[in-house]
Structure 1
């Protein structure tokens, strides 16, 4: 009967109310299941229906059912919303969702700079395998959318490549559009990427790279480029044909300087296993495939030094495509465990504990430990003297050393300057700047170094912190609640307007294919103006618990554990090799260094220089 009195025992606390109070929301848990007898109810010794829930939260819900009033004093908003969802109190859930929106704006707050929708993925085609020449003359136009032995190998090209789409027959229709350079410093071995993932989620962003006012986005089976203009903002310029094998690495060069080419041309490279595919992109979106090249072993890192494309493998191979000669050249070296670029130099940290300028040994670690992380800093060149070269490196034993070379001592090799033994596990990342040496996460060679903390694998939040002291700069939350799959910090050039200056952005790639942009320059300025206020670091216990709501923790390894695990620090056994360090350099580098992007790890050691 509507006037019946219902007695409830919720978590040991007894409540009495009318049936009418509990049943005025027809689709809730109480009238639809418990009181109707659809589910078996348990009663206590007094005959009250027992419900094993939190009595404090239930009292707030019962008060809402009685008076439509909500008292949030001393109540966790998320906990109350979770309880209201359990009981199916839809009107209360809607009110609490609006309250949560006060803390998290759907438009992304003042730091949110914009969002780029996913491009239409190219349609895969069934093609026969064809011989691949060094270059092709096929021109395509993509539609624009707003929004070890140190022995020398001969230059070679791929005679046969994986099946790929002919540029002249590319189909531009799309199906189902839905919503740190990577280096050996991290010794990341992620070669076993499953192609199945690409078919399940063809628009999940896997990598984001930036160079000048261009960004390159990698998806499982294609890559695309966006460009920023002062007048029109960011818009889609070019998408690659469908690639049958999953894309492992991408590289972008937005300023190509070569013979018989205009400076407006761009280069994009993508690696798939041991193959590297290279395109020349024009400003109007047209493209020309330069060629596909084979390193013969898996490509672990791909980047540009000036207008030259460099592919590295930890098995001890370097592949270089020379923009002047248009040739692909392979060099065998000692197995590589880290690298860095400085100007036109490529320095390699190797398994035998030495640092090489390609094949010339510059320095050998006193303990002969494996060089697992490497960072080079060139001081500004003056009229009185040349550059000071400062090199910081980390080893497999956890040691961090700084070596220097004066302009007056050129030819004598770098000298050991400082040693730090603050790590108990292999060093996965170092970054040396004018003021700081950061070992642990990724930092940029700027006055204000930042690192990005992604606490759990599937999350829509990133914690931006200063590398120098760990203080929090800001928290980025996806505006559409989609998980963040990739990210990078990149500085874009200022516009031609008076007073404009370069600005640093954080680009986040999401599982639904979108790219979201965040103004890091403004975040740093806001932080500097808030002196005197208490500052947080990483996630608080409350924030961490909220992040872990959708995660399952395992006891198979420590949580958190170092990334990567020590087991991947051992370079896989490759072909038998011999060492001939007297062999002269056989790969020459020129032009300027490329941009730097990387991965981020939570443990940090900061040393004042």
Structure 2
């Protein structure tokens, strides 16, 4: 039997996996780039051959056949995958062979209990052929194929972790130091999952039937789907909501789920009222959250806010209580915003500091004093060093940082404080100015992505 170890020696590859013979094509093993097999067949890594010249791989053949079948059909010919067994018996190949990427590091850490159910899409038994000739596509990207088991997003909250793939999500929890356990697997979602949100804080008992539930949300196109997960493992499919426009941001503020679109729509679902509400506002250019507040920087130069604690009180009026907090003196677009809650906020609740950047490059700091309650924040300091729109701004205890769109020009200032509150004596002083000349381009729809397509968990005690 001829060996296919060397590149170009033939299109048929003969393998000996744990004593069982496999034959397949070079194309099948290498259609996904930068994998174990592309390295193997290019000679970049060494291997062993048996007496017949077949490539020897010292792994469980029954588990290897799952990977090979995936490479052949681009579909999973299984309903349940035991990640512990797959990870233990295939080592690095689980995350690299043929793009079959699963959170094997979770299992390798010894934490996941039981198998992980991988949802199947609604095709017939011939779905393999359908997938081969009509693979899933990302909207707007032509024939680009989406790896169904590539980790795209990761979210963490308290002792829960959400792992998002192209068409389903899973949740793991670390309970009572017993290790990470699978808590939830979503159904197969036909469209590409673009946003995820997780709230692992228990709902208060006052919220009736939703008390004690963790909340998990995903969005695809204009739709938001929400689930509740109880401590006993039971799942509650709360519903699917439609924002009517593309969902660009999805997050929780307390028990409220918020969906935003830059065209000027806000969608809010509240756990106590079990109500989904949409409200039109001005086009949104930036936003930030602080405590129960959602602040919106809009294109008309105004900063608006919603107090989520007061949100349920006005449901009967169909009003989200979107209130103008401040208006830029130059009427510039609020392109970046950052809120800093000082220790003083916890004492009196009336002290808030906001830094924002504008389309003209101006950076301003406004402050709400306890003495000026009812009159809105007062302008504290203005910086006009940028010549292009500000893309990011951050206000912290010691620093004010801003970035503009011209070569990502960064400016930093030190912040002087007196008893925790920002002070004008001597005020903010420049620290540094520099440009970031190159930044790797990323897909704006992908966030919290894991570079190596694996989930790594670390227990720090």
User: Normalised by the size of structure 2, how large is the TM-score?
Assistant: 0.57
Tell me the residue number matched to 1:316.
264
Unmatched segments (≥5 aa) in structure 1: 1-26, 33-84, 92-105, 107-113, 128-173, 176-190, 443-453, 459-484, 488-507, 523-609
Q: Which structure carries more strand by proportion?
A: 2
Kindly state the Cα deviation for residue 424 of structure 1 after the two structures are TM-superposed: 3.8
How far the C-alpha of 1:194 sits from its partner, in A, is: 4.6
Residues 403, 90 of structure 1: alpha-carbon distance in 2 compared, 3 angstrom cutoff: closer
Deviation at 1:313, TM superposition (A): 0.9
Question: Does the 8 Å CA contact 1:238/1:286 hold for their aligned counterparts?
Answer: no
Partner of 2:220: 272
* CA distance in 1: counterparts of 2:365 and 2:303, whole angstroms: 12
Distance 1:517 1:193 in 2: 34
Per-residue Cα deviation, 1:99-141 (whole angstroms, up to 9, x for no partner):
xxxxxxx9xxxxxxx93269553101169xxxxxxxxxxxxxx
1:121 aligned partner: 118
Taking the aligned partners of 1:196 and 1:268, their CA distance within structure 2 comes to 31
Residue pairs, 1:314-353, within 5 angstroms: 314-353=262-301
Deviations 1:133-181 (A, max 9, x none): xxxxxxxxxxxxxxxxxxxxxxxxxxxxxxxxxxxxxxxxx99xxxxxx
Aligned to 2:327: 364
1:388 aligned onto 2:351: yes
Distance 2:362 2:325 in 1: 19
- Helix, strand or coil at the partner of 2:450: strand
The yes-or-no answer on 1:226 pairing with 2:169 is: no
Supply the distance in 2 between the matched residues of 1:28 and 1:259 (Cα, whole angstroms).
65
Structure 2 match to 1:236: 182
Partner in structure 2 of residue 515 of structure 1: 455
TM-score scaled by length of structure 1: 0.44
The answer (yes or no) to whether the contact 1:295–1:319 under 8 Å persists in 2 is: yes
Is the contact made by 2:345 and 2:351 (CA closer than 8 Å) also made in structure 1?
Answer: no
Deviation, 1:261, is 3.9
Deviation at 1:262, TM superposition (A): 6.4
Over 3 Å counting, the alpha-carbon distance change for 1:243 and 1:367 in structure 2 is same
Q: Map 1:17-36 to 2 at 5 A.
A: none
Aligned 1:172-571 pairs, distance under 5 A: 194=141, 197=144, 200-255=146-201, 256-257=203-204, 258-261=206-209, 263-358=211-306, 359-381=322-344, 385-440=348-403, 456=440, 487=448, 509-510=450-451, 512=453, 514-517=454-457
Structure 1 residue 423 displacement after superposition? 3.3
Aligned-residue Cα RMSD (Å) equals 3.9
Question: What CA distance in whole angstroms lies between the structure 1 residues aligned with 2:359 and 2:139?
Answer: 24
Change (3 A) 1:313 1:389: same
How many angstroms does 1:215 deviate by?
1.6
Check the 8 A contact 2:210/2:271 in 1, yes or no: no
Whether the 8 Å CA contact 1:379–1:387 is kept in 2: the answer is no
5+ residue gaps, structure 2, are 10-39, 47-91, 93-103, 108-114, 129-137, 307-321, 411-437
Q: Hey, what's the Cα distance between the residues in 1 that align with 2:397 and 2:173?
A: 31
What does 1:87-106 align with in structure 2 at a 5 Å threshold?
none
Residue 324 of structure 1: how far off its partner (Å): 1.5
Residues 194 and 283 of structure 1: is their aligned pair in 2 closer, same or farther, counting only changes over 3 Å? farther
Tell whether the 8 Å contact from 1:336 to 1:351 is kept in structure 2 after alignment: yes
Distance 2:359 2:458 in 1: 35
CA 364–511 in structure 1, closer or farther in 2 if over 3 Å, else same: same
Q: Which has the higher contact order (CA 8 A, sep 6+)?
A: 1
Contact 1:121 1:203 in 2 (8 A): no
